[in-house]
Amino acid sequence: QQGETDVDDLGERPVVSFMTKDSAARKAHVKVGHVLLNVNGTDVGTPREANKAIKAIKSNNQTPFHLTLWVPDFPIMFFEGMHMVKYDERTGLAPLKPTDWKPKYVVIGGVIGYHWQMKMYRSHKEYDTAVMETFNHVPISVKVKDFGIHSTCRLNLPEVRKINYKTYDGTETWYYIAMKSPLNNCIKISSKNTDDLKKMTDGIKEVLRTYHQLGTDYELNQAERHQY
């Protein structure tokens, strides 16, 4: 698990914060939270050094090039993906119409949130914008909804439910989960297939496991380290 020595040893080393959808790094299975150690055998200790080394390689058309990364033992990103959501009602029942759901890019954890946070953006692009603005120390210009999974799920995973919506072609089945927030509103997240929801519930399960295993001391240490 993540410890204080792990964070201190990183210093200012560049950490992967996000990747474009079709990037070479994503195709090479690089993930958010991986730490860049060197570029083509040259050590890089800061993001500026990493950018300088990569730009020099690209300017000389020396592609492809090799990156050496450290993979942390502790999780950074628990889940991210586009889903339909509803969070302004107290009932745990699904809306009567499919048009009552809102499309949101859902992120659990990540580089600009605590491990127990679920953030909702209007698109993947707006999430990328929020990441860039956070790391550039400027106010976030995009809208975001923020929920604490540790308080909405407690010790229990939300069960997967289903609802049938009438369509022009007949009936369409949607699957969804519902989580109660401390304000008594119910956060509902839906998908048209159970595989997508399973990825999310697996992420929630890992958040709860990590949160209750590491405890409040970890939360306080993270709060002290997060200086946006």
3-state secondary structure of 120: strand
Cα–Cα distance for residue pair 102/207, rounded to 1 Å: 24
- Please state, rounded to an integer, the average pLDDT across all residues of the chain: 79
Cα–Cα distance for residue pair 74/76, rounded to 1 Å: 7
At 1 the pLDDT is 37
Contact criterion met (CB below 8 Å) for 13 and 46: yes
Backbone angles phi, psi at 142, to 5 degrees: -100, 155
Contact criterion met (CB below 8 Å) for 190 and 101: yes
At 2 the pLDDT is 41
Cβ neighbour number for residue 60 with a 10 Å cutoff: 8
At 164 the pLDDT is 94
pLDDT tens figures, 143-168: 999 888 876 655 456 788 999 999 88
Chain position carrying tokens 């200086």: 227
pLDDT tens figures, 62-120: 777 888 888 776 667 778 899 999 998 888 899 999 999 999 999 988 878 877 889 99
Please name which of 107, 87, 99 lies closest in space to residue 178, comparing C-alpha atoms: 87
Mean of pLDDT values over 202-220: 64
Cα–Cα distance for residue pair 137/47, rounded to 1 Å: 15
Cα–Cα distance for residue pair 177/191, rounded to 1 Å: 9
The secondary element (H helix, E strand) that includes residue 55 is helix 47-59
3-state secondary structure 182-226: CCCCEEEEEECCHHHHHHHHHHHHHHHHHHHHHHHHHHHHHHHHC
Contact criterion met (CB below 8 Å) for 176 and 185: no
pLDDT tens figures, 26-47: 788 887 778 888 988 888 888 8
At 21 the pLDDT is 67
At 143 the pLDDT is 94
Residue 210's pLDDT band (cuts 50, 70, 90): confident
pLDDT tens figures, 171-187: 999 999 988 776 678 88
Residue 213 has pLDDT above 80, yes or no: no
Cβ neighbour number for residue 154 with a 10 Å cutoff: 12
At 3 the pLDDT is 40
Which residues partner with 81 through β-bridges?
Answer: 106
Of residues 24 and 212, more confidently modeled: 24
